[in-house]
Amino acid sequence: MKAQLSRRDWFKSSLALTAGLTLSPMFVDKLFAGPVSAAERFQWGINPYSANGNIRLNANENPYGPSEKVKQAIIENMHESNRYPFQALSELKKMIADKEGVDTDHIHMGAGSGEILCEAGVAFGLDNGEILSGFPTFTEMMDYAKVFNAKWDKVNLNDKLEFDYGAMASRVNSKTKLVFICNPNNPTGTLVDPSIVSPFCQDISKKTLVYSDEAYLEFLEPEMQKRVSNIELVKKGMNVVVSRTFSKIHGLAGLRIGYIVAKPDLIKKISQYQMGIPISQHAIAAAKASLGDNEFMTLSRTKNTEARGHLEGYLKQKGFSYGKSHTNFMFFLAPKEGKAILSGMQQKNILMRIWDYKNKEWCRVSIGTLDEMKQFTQAFDEVIA
Ligand SMILES: Cc1ncc(COP(=O)(O)O)c(C=O)c1O
């Protein structure tokens, strides 16, 4: 393969993807929130779930969104549906650049941060480029990059289910084109202190690109957000990309909008693989309204902490082994066969996930409302009895 994928090749392969020519249906499943365990492949194979009417604790969504301000903004923006969003997108970029303290040439927006993860996966994974990450983590970038022959090198988490930065540093080699970190991490919810992560990023970014996925950052208290984010490293001109999304604390997962912050040469390298303008007027209007809506973010964070406390109390009381969560989901060792858990919970109209990791099965449960979490613990108790 050539050193750089030309835009023409890119569109050709993208068309092939759309036409289903190069991807088996199973692979498409895998890319888009597909199974991460034998239990999920089995259960969803015999009984595909429908989102309707279920308590959805399977995709780390925000049960309180979208906020009233956002709904109003979308309605007021309806009349712009006939217009391309060039101007609106520039305005939003400016708002984000101001918020992050950078120039607009440091911002790239996508239809969800997942879209940009895929673009970066192509930009750095081509020609057998190696991507290094902890495992388990959010795999969208690596799954997509593998289509373009990237190699994915995984380093297991430590015993506390946290990214093991020491082990990752020693795995970086001359072929490593990108190091993916996720803090707090999905699916475990665990957070590693910035006193460990920041020196890692500073050191590794001298050798290769560090891609810092901060999708769940805003579930931390504001002071902690400032400490944990790697945005200051971007501002210092380092080889670091920071990724954020409107899907989580902003409650806009269905509208698809997210962004990265990085120095302009990185923005150029990654954004060249974007297909057209994938962001709609409505997503932009929603994001603009949500950016200043601190009240809604505080409400989401507070309610999430309360509801997560209920689940954590249950896990503690049961003596289950779990990761300390700083997010809107929790990860714990499955107390019964994963297939039986998924099917039993599905029968009770509750959706959740099962992960395979280190020859064991693990449950990942998103945090819904307090009422939903109470229903969850009661149902789960019955299923595992
Ligand atoms: C860590 C992480 N990064 C990125 C994403 C992608 O989110 P979106 O494409 O909705 O911005 C997710 C979604 O769950 C995630 O968990």
What is the pLDDT tens value at each position of the chain, 385 positions in all? 344 444 444 434 443 443 333 334 444 444 445 789 999 999 988 888 887 889 999 999 999 999 999 999 999 999 999 999 999 999 999 999 999 999 999 999 999 999 999 999 999 999 899 999 999 999 999 999 999 999 999 999 999 999 999 999 999 999 999 999 999 999 999 999 999 999 999 999 999 999 999 999 999 999 999 999 999 999 999 999 999 999 999 999 999 999 999 999 999 999 999 999 999 999 999 999 999 899 999 999 999 999 999 999 999 999 999 999 999 999 999 999 999 999 999 999 999 999 999 999 999 999 999 999 999 999 999 999 9
pLDDT in the model for residue 13: 46
Q: Please give the distance, rounded to the nearest whole angstrom, from the Cα atom of residue 284 to the centre of ligand 1.
A: 18
Whether pTM exceeds 0.85:
yes
Q: Which of 154, 159, 165 is nearest to 193 (CA)?
A: 165
What does the alpha-carbon distance between residue 376 and residue 63 come to, in Å, rounded to a whole number? 14
Q: Is the CB of 110 under 6 A from ligand 1?
A: no
* Any ligand 1 atom below 6 A from CB of 186: yes
Ligand 1 atom closest to Cα of 111?
9
Pair 236, 204: CB distance under 8 Å: no
Ligand 1 pocket test, candidate residues 58, 116, 138, most atoms within 8 A of CB: 138
Ligand 1: does its nearest atom lie under 6 Å from the Cβ of 62? no
The reply to whether ligand 1 has any atom less than 6 angstroms from the CB of 114 is yes
Look at the chain and count its residues: 385
Closest atom of ligand 1 to 246 CA is 11
Contact 88, 80 (CB under 8 A): yes
Which atom of ligand 1 is closest in space to residue 137's alpha carbon? Answer: 1
Residue the block writes with tokens 């020196």: 199
Instruction: Compute the distance from residue 18 Cα to the ligand 1 centre, in Å.
Output: 21
Binding site membership of 181 for ligand 1 (Cβ less than 6 Å): no
Q: Which atom of ligand 1 is nearest to the CA of 182?
A: 1
Q: What is the DSSP letter of 219?
A: G
Index of the ligand 1 atom closest to the CA of residue 256: 10
Q: What is the pLDDT at residue 302?
A: 98
176 Cα: distance to centroid of ligand 1 (angstroms): 23
Q: What is the pLDDT of residue 23?
A: 37
Rounded to whole angstroms, how far apart are CA atoms 133 and 42? 27
Tell me which of 245, 325, 326 to substitute to probe ligand 1's pocket, judged by most ligand atoms within 8 Å of the beta carbon.
Answer: 245
User: Residue 245: CB within 6 Å of ligand 1?
Assistant: yes
Question: Which atom of ligand 1 is found nearest the CA of 33?
Answer: 14
User: Quick one: which atom of ligand 1 is closest to the CA of 60?
Assistant: 14
Task: Tell me if 189 CB under 6 Å of ligand 1.
Answer: no
Q: Angle 281-291/86-100 helices, nearest 10 degrees?
A: 30
Residue 33's pLDDT is what? Answer: 58
HEC-encoded secondary structure of 237-265: CCCEEEEEECCCCCCCCCCCCEEEECCHH
Mutate which of 62, 119, 185, 186 to test ligand 1's pocket (most atoms within 8 Å of Cβ)?
A: 186
Look up tokens 């929130």; give the residue.
Answer: 33
Ligand 1, atom 5, residue with closest C-alpha? 114
Separation CA 58–CA 350 (nearest Å): 9
Q: How far is the CA of 246 from the centre of ligand 1 (A)?
A: 9
Q: What residue ranges define each of the domains in the chain, with the CATH number in brackets?
A: 36-64+295-384 (3.90.1150.10), 69-291 (3.40.640.10)
Q: Are 142 and 121 in contact (CB under 8 A)?
A: yes
**What span, in angstroms and rounded, lies between the C-alpha atoms of 235 and 77?**
33
Nearest residue to 187 (alpha-carbon basis) of 378, 380, 352: 352
Burial class of residue 121, CB neighbours in 10 A (0-12, 13-18, 19+): buried
Structure tokens at 80: 């712009």
Whether 139 lines ligand 1, by a CB cut-off of 6 Å, is no
Asked if residues 96 and 259 have their Cβ atoms less than 8 Å apart, the reply is yes
How many A from CA of 140 to the centre of ligand 1?
Answer: 8
Check residue 78 and give its pLDDT. 97
